[in-house]
Structure 1
Amino acid sequence: MSGPSIPKNKSPSASSVSLSQILVRRSGRLFFRDSTIPYPLPCDLAEIHRQTLRSMVLMQVFDAPFCAPYFEVNPPRRVLEVACGSGTWSTACHDYIGRGSSTSFTGLDILPLAPDLSKAGLKWQFVQHDLRKQPLPFADGSFDFVFVKDTSLCTSAASLQAEPLAEMLRVLKSGGTLEVWDSDYIVRTLLPNPPIAPGLSEEQLEQAEETATYTISAATPFAQAQNQYLQDYNAWATRAFEKRKLTGVPCAFIGMAFSAENESFRDYGSRRIAIPLSEVRWEKDPHVRKGSIGRVESSEDSRPRARILNPDQLALRRTALNTIVQMIEGLEPMLMDASGKSKDEWDRWWAAMITDLLHDEGTANGECLEVGAWWGQKI
C-alpha cells in the first residue's frame, strides 16, 4: 500500500531541524526559541507526560480514540495525525482499530518528538512541519482520516476564525473523515443540576453515567470560576493569550468553523463534555435531581441521601485536575509576566494554589475541564 504523496522538497525524516536549534531553556523548562511562534507551553518530557494524560482523559470520556461513527465497518486506510507530539493518539488508534489492520499512520509536528512507532508495529512515518506554513506538505486527497488535537495554541485566534479547516479538508479525500479535539484553557464552574443534553444516544448516556461527566448543550448552566486561584489564573491567562493573539476558549471557534464549512460535509457532528475537577458539593445534596450522574445511595424509603462516585470516576476527575495544574506550571513564565509577580511572589502563590486545589477541596463548587470533539465526512 502506498503512503501519502509528499512533495520532493519535503522529507518524512525528523532530522531536518534539530531540537537544539529551535528550543531554549527558561525557568527550568524548554520553550520555543523563536518569539514569533505563539505556542506558550513547554516542549519537554514533563509536557509530553501531561499531554498523554490529557489524551487518556479524553479517550476515556469519549470511550474511543475518535467519535466519528464512519469506521464501524471499514477502518481508514491512511490516517494523518496533525500535531502528533509523541504519537500517543496514533498508537491508541492503531490498537483500537486492530493490530492486524492495514491502516498506515502519518504524524505531523513542528518538533520530532515522536519515536519510531514502526518498532511498535505501526505502519508509520513522521513529517516535520510548522502548521503556520501553508500548504501542508501533502497532495490533495492523501488521507482517509485526518485527526487534529490541541492545535488551538499553535496559531492565532484570527487564523482560527479565518479558514481553519481548509488545509485539513484539502488533504482529505472525498468521503474521508476530519475530526478535531480540543480543550478550553479558561476554567468555568458548572452550576447545579445541569439538564441532560438533548439527542444523546443510550450509549452516550451510559458513558456519561459511567465516567461521571456532563455532556454540554446550549442549556448547560455555567458561571465564572468560584475558586480564587483559578480566578487569578483565568485573568492572567486571558491577558497573556490576548498579547500572543491566542484564544483561551477555542471550543467555540472550532464549533463555528465546522458550521461554516457545512457545505463541505455530507454529515457532521460534535460532542462537548464537562469534567468536574473533584467531588462537587451540590452532587452530594440529597435534593439533587435523580437521573444525573453518580450512584445514588438511598434510605429505606427510597429517598435519595447522597451521591457516591466510584474510584474510577474520582481518578478521572483527579487526573483532569492534575493536567490543569501541570498546565499552569508549564505556563509559569507567561503567567508571571502577565501577573507582574516577582519569582518569590509567584512561588508563594503557587504553593498556596497547590494546597487549595489538591488538598483543600478547592474545586468542590463545580470547576471543570471543558473538552470537545467535532467531526465530519467530506463530500
Structure 2
Amino acid sequence: MRYGDRTYFRDPENVYPLPCDLPEIHRQSLRTLMLLRVLGGPFCNPHLANRPPKRILEIACGSGLWSGLCHEYFTRRGHPDVAFAGIDVISIAPDLRKQGMNWQFKRHDLRRPRLPFPDDYFDFVFIKDAGMCPSSPAQSASGLSEPLRVLKSGGILEVWDSDWSFRSLLPNPAPARKTTSKEQEIADATATYTFSSATPFTRAQNKFVVDYNSWVEKSFDRLKLTVLPCATIGLSFNSEVDLLENVDSRRVAIPLGDLRWERDGQGKDSKNRPRKALTPEQISIRRTALLTTIQMIEGLEPLLMESSGKGRDEWDRWWAAMTADLLQKGGLASGECLEVSAWWGQKK
C-alpha cells in the first residue's frame, strides 16, 4: 500500500506500522551497525565467541545484514562454515551464498503458529528489532515458545530491541550493577550509558519529543502494541524459568544529542573523571541514533498524523519545526536517549 512515496503492508490484519521499502531497509541497516558498535559485537552472550554455534537462525532478518556481519565475525575467528537461516514476511535479503555464506532464507509470516523448522534444530536463535511484530516476545507472552522449540538444549537465545518512546537521563548516572569491565570500556569509548531499573530518568524535556511520545503511545495502544518492548522482553525471558537458564541482559542509553550536563563539565565517566569532549566516533554514534529516530518518526507518519489530529499542512509545519530543533538547534541537550536492550539465555 502506498502512502505518499512510502510503501506499507496492505494486509489489514497485519498491524506492523513501519514501511517496507528501501529507505526503511537503510534505516534498519544504520541502526544495526550502530548497535553492533554500542554492544560490542553481533551478540552479547559471553560464551558464543569461544563455542561457535553450528546453526544460527535470525528471525525477522530483513536484509540479512546481521547474519552477514555475524558470518564475518566467525570467519575472522576461523569458523567460516557456520550455517545461517533467515526468515521474514517479505523477501528482501540478497542471496548471501554469493558472498560465501552457508545461507538459507525462508519467507514466513510470524503470525503462523509454527516456525518452519524441526524441534531442537539450531544452536543459536537471534531476534533483533522485531518489537513491532504482534507475535514477537516484545508483544506476546508466548513470543519465546517457538524460538525455544527450534533451539537445541544448551543453545543460546538472544533478543535485541529498543523502546519506541523516549525519556531523559539525569546527570551522572552510576553504571548499572553487574556491568563487566569490558562492557564499561565499550560504554566509555562510545559515550553511552549502561543502565538498570534503578538508573535515574525523567520525562522527556523537548517539546517535540513530548508530542511524539503522546502520539505514539496513543497509536500503539489502539493497535494493542507496547511502546516499551524492552520491558516486555525481560518479562518474557523471566517467565521461561522452566526452559531457560543463565539469563542475563544489557541495557544501554544512547544520548540523542550533546548533553548540557556533559558540556558544562558536570559529566563524569565511569571512573568519576570529568568527561572529555566527544570524539568524532562518539558524535557519529549519537547522530546515527538521532537520524534513525527521525527516520522512524517519518515512517510512522500515517499513524502519528491520525493520533495528533493534524491536517497535512499543520503536520508539515510541525515536522519542519521538529527536524530543525533536533538537528540544528541543539534541542536534545536535556538528556533524551534511545534506550536499547539485549537479553539472552541458554536452553536447559
**Cα deviations across residues 244-294 of structure 1 (Å, max 9, x unaligned)?**
11111000000111111122123121001000011100112334445468x
Distance in structure 2 (CA, Å) of the matches to 1:282 and 1:252? 27
Distance in structure 2 (CA, Å) of the matches to 1:202 and 1:284? 25
Helix, strand or coil at the partner of 2:212:
helix
Identity %: 54
Aligned residues: 346
Q: Does 1:275 align with 2:230?
A: no
| Residue among 288, 302, 317 paired with 1:319 | 288
Distance in structure 2 (CA, Å) of the matches to 1:180 and 1:203? 20
Relative to 1, partners in 2 of residues 1:64 and 1:229: Cα closer, same or farther, differing over 3 Å? same
1:127-146 equivalences in 2 (<5 Å): 127-146=106-125
| Residue among 312, 333, 343 paired with 1:343 | 312
Report the TM-score, using the length of structure 2 for normalisation: 0.96
Relative to 1, partners in 2 of residues 1:292 and 1:189: Cα closer, same or farther, differing over 3 Å? farther
**Cα deviations across residues 173-220 of structure 1 (Å, max 9, x unaligned)?**
111110000000001111111112111111111111001110111221
Q: Does 1:34 align with 2:11?
A: yes
Amino acid at match of 1:87: G
Helix, strand or coil at the partner of 1:317:
helix
Amino acid at match of 2:162: S
Distance in structure 2 (CA, Å) of the matches to 1:113 and 1:141? 27
Q: Does 1:44 align with 2:13?
A: no
Amino acid at match of 1:173: K
1:363 maps to 332
Contact 2:138–2:233, Cα closer than 8 Å, also in 1: no
1:284 maps to 263
Relative to 1, partners in 2 of residues 1:291 and 1:139: Cα closer, same or farther, differing over 3 Å? closer
Amino acid at match of 1:286: G
1:192 maps to 171
Larger radius of gyration: 1
Distance in structure 1 (CA, Å) of the matches to 2:221 and 2:173? 31
Report the CA distance between 1:126 and its aligned residue.
0.5
Q: Does 1:265 align with 2:244?
A: yes
2:298 maps to 329
Helix, strand or coil at the partner of 2:242:
helix
Q: Does 1:202 align with 2:203?
A: no
**Cα deviations across residues 31-89 of structure 1 (Å, max 9, x unaligned)?**
00012101000000000000001111110111100001122322111000000000000
Helix, strand or coil at the partner of 1:52:
helix
| Residue among 112, 121, 124 paired with 2:91 | 112
Distance in structure 1 (CA, Å) of the matches to 2:269 and 2:189? 15
Contact 2:162–2:229, Cα closer than 8 Å, also in 1: yes
Report the CA distance between 1:147 and its aligned residue.
0.3
1:227 maps to 206
Amino acid at match of 1:122: M
Unmatched tracts of structure 1, length 5 or more = 1-23, 297-305
Distance in structure 2 (CA, Å) of the matches to 1:244 and 1:72? 39
1:144-183 equivalences in 2 (<5 Å): 144-155=123-134, 160-183=139-162
Distance in structure 2 (CA, Å) of the matches to 1:72 and 1:333? 42
Distance in structure 1 (CA, Å) of the matches to 2:122 and 2:252? 28
Helix, strand or coil at the partner of 1:71:
coil
Amino acid at match of 1:239: K
Report the CA distance between 1:163 and its aligned residue.
1.2
Distance in structure 2 (CA, Å) of the matches to 1:362 and 1:159? 30
Contact 1:82–1:147, Cα closer than 8 Å, also in 2: yes
Distance in structure 2 (CA, Å) of the matches to 1:161 and 1:167? 12
Unmatched tracts of structure 2, length 5 or more = none
Amino acid at match of 1:76: P
Report the TM-score, using the length of structure 1 for normalisation: 0.88
Report the CA distance between 1:352 and its aligned residue.
0.4
| Residue among 32, 42, 58 paired with 1:55 | 32
Relative to 1, partners in 2 of residues 1:88 and 1:159: Cα closer, same or farther, differing over 3 Å? closer
Amino acid at match of 1:92: L
2:344 maps to 375
1:76 maps to 53
